[in-house]
Structure 1
Amino acid sequence: MPQLNPAPWFLILVFSWFIFLALLPSKVLAHTFPNEPTTQSTKKPKTEPWNWTWH
């Protein structure tokens, strides 16, 4: 049965894992997001009471 011969398939497995473990993580980590999150200020906004006309 030819599919039981591990010689060509083992080499394909090794090269595919080399690509996954060496090339792809650097591509994924180099990705930049278009909208970087910004920190919000810790100051509370000054609120004013509403001026109700019927109260």
Structure 2
Amino acid sequence: MPQLNPAPWFAILMFSWLVFLVIIPTKVMAHTFNNEPSPQTAKKPKLESWNWPWY
């Protein structure tokens, strides 16, 4: 029964975990967004009461 031979499957398992734990996080963390928020746009809005003409 070739399914019981762990040699090729263990190597595939270790290689896939190596890819998931080493290669993919470095690519994800190196990603930069085009529109980074700037502190100038983080102003509080001026709150005013509404003027309801029917009230």
What residue number does 1:22 align with?
22
Q: Percent identity?
A: 61
| Number of residue pairs the alignment of both structures matches | 46
How much has 1:38 moved relative to structure 2? 2.5
TM-score by length of 2: 0.68
Q: After TM superposition, what 4+ stretches of structure 1 lie above 3 angstroms from structure 2?
A: 42-45
User: Structure 1 stretches of 5 or more lacking a match?
Assistant: 48-55
User: Structure 2 stretches of 5 or more lacking a match?
Assistant: 49-55
How much is the aligned-residue C-alpha RMSD, in angstroms? 2.1
1:23-50 CA-partner distances (Å, limit 9, x unpaired): 11000000001111223124748x7xxx
C-alpha distance in structure 1 between counterparts of 2:38 and 2:4, whole Å = 56
